């Protein structure tokens, strides 16, 4: 028993030794950014003291009061002991963290912040997470006043809207209020904001592309749960202020049937909150402002450098140390040499931030990551109207359509096709392909075709210019079809505008007229047509001979007129020649006219002329005082 008691005493001694060594004897450098990045921490006070420092010990009750007053509002206290040797714990006070600095390493770290070789006690430092407040003071009062003003003037409030449900019970089967409560709880514990239930500022659309990237005071958090028959479920969070999206995050969760897996959804909420807050909460440590510090450095010589910004894609906005550097890239600007915080953002792309050491002739050519993916939609028939998330987009084929990451519902929304639906998951900077077979809504046509003599014939069937078969017959056609054409050789085309209803048949009887034969005048004169009768051939020959006789008569008339004119002018004309020309012309006209009449009669009497038009040659003879003109018109 005594042996056991000795072991217990030894373990207790070792435990106390370790606690005093590590908890109060650590000389690790304080990472202020890390301290301020902790959930719920808005302000950090680092106070240096020593037991031999009378003003330090006198200030302990004031520090204790200040800590108690604001610790639940986001104030964190770190106390550093400058005692040499054994590190003493603060008496009657439990700050958030106590450190020992017997060799002065932590004091040197903070002395460099204010450009001093060492710190004089008492001294304290105050930091705010967003970089708006940074203070060094030897007394409690200035720190107390600065903290009070901070909590009075700085308010970051977020309205958490009710949960939006897409997919009805497939998204969540229970009351979605627990999801909002869980998000509110995590916002309070993880973030540096106050959650309110009512909107403090009226929402409005952003009137410019450049959205302020500082933390969104009085902003709105939208919560969306999506669930589909396929079993896919998605949680989406989006933080907005005046139409500007400050941050957004999506996480999948699981479930079965109409019931969500509560543990899975809770994990999704936690991870989505971490993703969202990482986008909007950025800790910055500005230069310290000294209060009660003896020396003030108001001048420092530094080197100016020109930095060029060429991110991809172009037309991005650049902030340097949270101040506008250029509205549209590519661009260049002059800065002081050294480390600067650079922010590059562009609508629909992820904002990129980093601390960069500016050097001479430096080029920043970051490649921004798209905050969207692409969707291709293909259908078996082109021209099908597609709806995405309740909005008609365009007709297929659709290529490289931009969508935000997450689940999206895609439908065929076309009066000509049966509705089809699919859920697609879009991932950032990736392309998804979606294909529908697109079944058309159809009615029927029962087509019959006859000619104008009542005979049934066959004809090719065209619907809206596309051949679908040969009539007579029955055909399935789209309810959106409009124009029917039937074509047969030797017949005029038949055209009709029609409409059909789903699964209903209509009957159309078409009557096709024969077309007229088209020939060039006299094209077949002197040629034997295998289908032409002997009487028709004789008629054409007679017409041709008659036309030649009339032409000869015309020539003789012209020669007779020339002979008569010569005789009257010079008295040397031959009367016998004139008479010969004259009588030959009369004979040509007489014989030619008779032959033409005979040819016409032969065509009329031709028994094979029932189905063809009668050819007519009608001569016309006239004189103009100088000669004879002959013309004729042949009709077929």
- pLDDT tens for residues 107-123? 888 888 887 888 888 89
Q: Which of 284, 416, 423, 306 is nearest to 361 (CA)?
A: 306
Give residue 211's pLDDT band: very low, low, confident or very high (50, 70, 90).
low
Using alpha carbons only, how large is the chain's radius of gyration in Å? 51
Listed range (61-65, 243-247, 379-383, 558-562) with the worst mean pLDDT: 243-247
% of the chain at pLDDT higher than 70: 77
Domain pair 373-436 / 442-512, same fold: yes
**pLDDT of 498:** 94
At the top level of CATH, the class of 157-280 is alpha beta
Per-chain mean pLDDT for the chain: 79
Burial degree of 553 (CB within 10 A; 0-12, 13-18, 19+): buried
Residue spans of the domains in the chain: they are 2-153, 157-280, 302-364, 373-436, 442-512, 534-635
Average of per-residue pLDDT across 510-533: 59
Domain 2-153 has CATH 3.40.30.10: yes
Please count the residues of the chain: 636
- pLDDT tens for residues 171-203? 787 888 999 999 988 888 877 777 765 444 434
Average of per-residue pLDDT across 21-33: 61
CA torsion sign for 333, 284, 291, 217 is: positive
Q: What angle do CA 272, 402, 218 make, to 5 degrees?
A: 45
Whole-angstrom distance, CA of residue 18 vs CA of residue 119? 28
The backbone torsions φ and ψ at residue 634, rounded to the nearest 5 degrees and listed phi first, read: -105, 125
- pLDDT tens for residues 149-160? 888 877 677 888
What's this model's pTM, rounded to 2 decimal places? 0.53
Q: What residues contact 506, with CB distance under 8 A and at least 6 apart? A: 443, 444, 445, 446, 498, 500
Listed range (30-44, 483-497, 553-567) with the worst mean pLDDT: 553-567
Distances (CA, A) of 141 to 64, 123, 289: 13, 12, 15
% of the chain at pLDDT higher than 90: 31
CATH domain 442-512 topology: Immunoglobulin-like (2.60.40)
* CATH number at 373-436: 2.60.40.1120
For residue 196, the 8-state DSSP code is E
Does pLDDT of 268 surpass 60?
A: yes
Average of per-residue pLDDT across 485-498: 93
**pLDDT of 536:** 74
């Amino acid at each position: 028993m005594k042996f056991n008691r000795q072991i217990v005493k030894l373990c207790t001694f070792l435990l106390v030794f370790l606690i005093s060594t590590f908890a109060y004897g650590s000389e690790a450098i304080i990472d202020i950014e890390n301290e301020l990045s902790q959930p719920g921490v808005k302000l950090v006070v680092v106070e240096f003291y020593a037991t031999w420092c009378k003003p330090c010990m006198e200030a302990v009750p004031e520090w204790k009061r200040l800590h108690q007053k604001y610790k639940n509002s986001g104030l964190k206290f770190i106390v550093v002991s400058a005692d040499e040797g054994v590190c003493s714990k603060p008496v009657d006070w439990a700050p958030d963290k106590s450190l020992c600095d017997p060799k002065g390493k932590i004091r040197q770290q903070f002395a460099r912040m204010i450009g001093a070789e060492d710190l004089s006690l008492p001294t304290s430092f105050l930091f705010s997470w967003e970089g708006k407040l940074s203070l060094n003071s030897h007394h409690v009062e200035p720190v107390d006043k600065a903290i009070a003003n901070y909590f009075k003037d700085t308010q970051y409030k977020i309205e958490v809207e009710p949960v939006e449900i897409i997919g009805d019970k497939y998204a969540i089967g229970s009351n979605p209020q627990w999801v909002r409560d869980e998000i509110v709880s995590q916002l309070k514990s993880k973030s540096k904001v106050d959650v309110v239930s009512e909107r403090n500022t009226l929402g409005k659309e952003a009137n410019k592309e450049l959205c302020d990237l500082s933390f969104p005071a009085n902003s709105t958090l939208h919560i969306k749960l999506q669930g589909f028959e396929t079993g896919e479920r998605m949680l989406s969070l989006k933080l907005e202020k005046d139409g500007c999206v400050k941050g957004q995050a999506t996480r999948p969760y699981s479930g079965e049937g109409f019931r969500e897996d509560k543990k899975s959804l809770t994990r999704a909420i936690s991870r989505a909150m971490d993703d969202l807050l990482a986008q909007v909460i950025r800790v910055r440590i500005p230069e310290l402002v000294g209060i009660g510090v003896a020396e003030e450095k108001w001048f420092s010589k530094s080197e100016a450098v020109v930095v060029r910004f060429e991110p991809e894609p172009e037309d991005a906005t650049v902030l340097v140390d949270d101040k506008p550097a250029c509205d549209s890239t590519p661009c260049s600007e002059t800065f002081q040499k050294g480390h600067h915080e650079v922010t590059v953002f562009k609508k629909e792309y992820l904002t990129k931030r980093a601390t960069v050491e500016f050097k001479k002739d430096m080029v920043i050519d970051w490649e921004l990551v798209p905050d969207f993916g692409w969707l291709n939609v293909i259908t078996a028939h082109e021209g099908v109207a597609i709806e995405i998330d309740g909005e008609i987009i365009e007709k297929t084929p659709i290529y490289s359509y931009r969508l935000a990451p997450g689940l999206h519902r895609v439908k065929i929304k076309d009066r000509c096709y049966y509705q089809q639906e699919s859920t697609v998951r879009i991932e950032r900077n990736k392309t998804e392909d979606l294909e529908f077979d697109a079944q058309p809504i159809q009615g029927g046509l029962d087509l019959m075709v006859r000619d104008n003599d009542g005979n049934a014939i066959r004809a090719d069937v065209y619907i809206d210019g596309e051949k679908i078969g040969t009539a007579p017959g029955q055909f399935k056609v789209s309810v959106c079809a409009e124009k029917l054409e039937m074509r047969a050789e030797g017949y005029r085309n038949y055209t009709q505008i029609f409409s059909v209803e789903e699964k209903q048949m209509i009957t159309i009887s078409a009557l096709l007229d024969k077309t007229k034969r088209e020939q060039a005048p006299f094209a077949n004169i002197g040629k034997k047509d295998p289908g032409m009768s002997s009487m028709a051939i004789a008629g054409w020959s007679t017409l041709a001979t008659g036309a030649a006789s009339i032409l000869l008569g015309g020539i003789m008339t012209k020669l007779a007129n020339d002979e008569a004119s010569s005789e009257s002018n010079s008295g040397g004309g031959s009367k016998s020649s004139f008479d010969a020309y004259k009588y030959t012309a009369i004979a040509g006209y007489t014989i030619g006219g008779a032959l033409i009449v005979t040819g016409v009669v032969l065509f009329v009497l031709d028994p094979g002329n029932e189905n063809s038009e009668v050819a007519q040659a009608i001569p016309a003879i006239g004189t103009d005082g100088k000669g004879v003109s002959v013309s004729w018109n042949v009709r077929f």
